[in-house]
Amino acid sequence: QQQVKQSPQSLIVQKGGISIINCAYENTAFDYFPWYQQFPGKGPALLIAIRPDVSEKKEGRFTISFNKSAKQFSLHIMDSQPGDSATYFCAASWTDKLIFGTGTRLQVFP
């Protein structure tokens, strides 16, 4: 019940395309859903986050879609760029600790 399942494990997208990463959870007590971006040798950096009282949040090229009834949320990266190539983690929290998905390695080719 503490798990957050993330897919796909890896993703290859052409420059300018849309990257979509999906996550699912079981624990309905989760009330905070962030996405982190991690480059090799670096720590996770917060990209965008959402709370369950909204169904979508957009910041620049990044959008979170949240489906409370299905207990799923997804990250959409519009106009994907080579600089977006990184590993992306979804996470969920209801107390202070974050429960992370297993990560998606995104490669954007020019």
Q: Which of 11, 49, 62, 72 binds other proteins (CB under 8 A)?
A: 49
- Among 74, 90, 93, 75, CA closest to 32: 93
CB closer to other proteins out of 15 and 51 = 51
Q: Which of 21, 25, 44, 77 binds other proteins (CB under 8 A)?
A: 44
DSSP state of 60: T
Residue 10 binds to other proteins (criterion: CB under 8 A): no
Sketch the per residue contact string, 71 through 100, with other proteins: x for CB under 8 A, - otherwise. Answer: ------------------x---x-xxxxxx
Interatomic CA distance for residues 48 and 24, integer angstroms: 17
What Cα–Cα distance (Å) separates residue 9 from each residue in 22, 30, 58, 64? Answer: 10, 23, 23, 18
Residue 53 binds to other proteins (criterion: CB under 8 A): no
Q: What is the dihedral of CA 97, 98, 100, 104, to 10 degrees?
A: -150
Interface with other proteins by CB under 8 A: which residues? Answer: 6, 32, 34, 36, 41-46, 49, 89, 93, 95-103
